[in-house]
Amino acid sequence: TLQYLIDADVVNLLARLRSVLSPRSYSHGSACGQPGIIILKENRPHMAPGLGGDQTRFQMDTPKVGGRFDITRSDAHFAALIELACLVIEHFE
């Protein structure tokens, strides 16, 4: 999962994954060219805006004793990281 990586490591990982994909038979006209497909399933900020959360910003949960740090990035944040890795979003839910 990408939620344990800093942004630079997310971009590096996605770019490395992109480099080993087989090319597709068509391109979207991007200067990066388009290899195959990577499917990402990541958590998104879960707090509703009316409850003190903001779904447009990343959210960081700090651990209790023996816990872990979790970072959830906004859709726009993920889109920027994906673009920096020369990937194109085909579909988003």
pLDDT band of residue 84 (cuts 50, 70, 90) is very high
Residue-level pLDDT at 26:
46
Predicted local confidence at residue 25, as pLDDT:
47
Encode burial over 47-83: b for 16+ CB neighbours within 10 A, e otherwise: eeeeeeeeeeebbeeeeeeeeeeebbbbeebbeebbe
Whole-prediction pTM = 0.69
Mean pLDDT of 80-85: 94
Q: What is the pLDDT of residues 23-77, one digit of tens each?
A: 654 445 555 555 678 888 887 766 555 555 556 666 666 667 766 666 788 888 8
- pLDDT value of position 74: 84
